[in-house]
Structure 1
């Protein structure tokens, strides 16, 4: 519980700092030596594609965030014997896989490439609330039966809560497609949080 509170507080601080900085920054995608000229024109490229820096920053952070939820859900599909958990895991996997494809399309349209690895520096990681640590992922992988279901639901609730904070950053985007995805994430994941809390209570 305390870890979750600390993560939420840290996330809000980063969101505020990121929002304040976005007006004068570009997206740090590749190393300065490799692609400085392309990045220096990213603002105009993004404008041409219909995305502002906040839209692209959101996609850059949410893609790996969604991918962890997909990985967790794939693990649930392989491990859980609970019909409700299995149905939820399939729902989350399918929805977030589709949303990853949408956000990758934004980056492609804007000429922005995710760098090698997960594409995130330490500042980005701090802003991605609800992400399970390597230790927590290992604990989930090692669990089984009811213990697995509980860890999956508890972890996914926290994961979704972090995603909601991130999604609210784009609800005022000038791009209608970006706004629509933010609204869809808020609506679907709010409902899934309530469902998961009910499943834990039962």
Structure 2
């Protein structure tokens, strides 16, 4: 009887290990330096690093978000060009349309709004958020599948925009920028949920 139980236990262990091995075979990882989506992310972060802060929260939020939105548009354009999933392509087109419209608004605001604030704490927190976002992106597992990588990286990209928008709501003075910050939070939280649902339905592959 003992030998029979041992045999059953051993068989169960072998079955589990075999299943794990099969699952592991399905996991693909691509180096970040070879990944197209990550390349766009790194280019965006490099541009953000060169942004000259003015200590005016509304002005600096607008400058940062304009660059941030352009990064999302560049990633979405790559999804439209090289992706294959209809849902991801639809989301990419939606992101391009909405964020291009916001870039137009941000540019108009910057043109008509000379910096006049003095809030160095906002700039410091803004930079900290961007650095944290860059580190988080570098921790993501990406596999070279355009649809997957677009979804996984856009989640972090949106989370960064949401954190910075929340800072604008606390430190900003201009109602137009505070309204945009609120709209960004609402829209991108919804999109994060859509990206997460899509990834979970695919088993994050």
- Please give the TM-score of this superposition, normalised by the length of structure 2: 0.59
TM-superposed CA distance for 1:133, in Å, is 9.8
Cα distance change on mapping 1:178 and 1:158 into 2, 3 Å:
same
Coordinate RMSD, CA, aligned: 3.2
2:163 equivalent in structure 1: 165
Q: State the Cα distance separating 1:90 from its structure 2 match.
A: 0.4
Per-residue deviation, 1:169: 1.3
Q: SS at 1:130's partner residue?
A: helix
Distance 2:155 2:183 in 1: 17
* Alignment correspondent of 1:196: 195
In structure 1, what is the Cα distance between the partners aligned to 2:197 and 2:147? 13
- 1:42-101 deviations in Å (ceiling 9; x for gaps): xxxxxxxxxx91100111211111111010000000011111000000011111111111
Indicate conservation of the 8 Å contact 2:126/2:164, yes or no. no
5+ residue gaps, structure 1, are 1-26, 30-38, 40-51, 113-121
Change (3 A) 1:78 1:133: farther
Select which of 94, 97, 100 maps to 1:94.
97
The question of whether the paired residues in 2 share the 8 Å contact of 1:65 and 1:131 is answered with no
**Deviation >6 Å, runs of 4+:** 132-136
Aligned length: 141
Would you say 1:179 and 2:182 are equivalent positions? no
1:106-127 Cα deviation digits (max 9, x unpaired) = 1100246xxxxxxxxx997654
Give runs of aligned pairs for residues 85-164 of structure 1, distance below 5 A. Answer: 85-111=88-114, 126-128=128-130, 130-131=133-134, 143=144, 147-164=145-162
Change in 2 beyond 3 A, CA 1:169/1:123: closer
Name which one, 1 or 2, has greater alpha-carbon Rg: 2
* Separation of aligned partners in 1, 2:135 and 2:85: 22
Mark the runs of 5 or more structure 2 residues left unpaired by the alignment. Answer: 1-50, 116-123
Verify the 8 A CA contact 2:137 2:153 in the aligned structure 1: no
Question: What SS class does the counterpart of residue 133 from structure 2 fall into?
Answer: coil
**Aligned partners of 1:73 and 1:132: how far apart in 2?**
21
Distance 2:76 2:64 in 1: 19
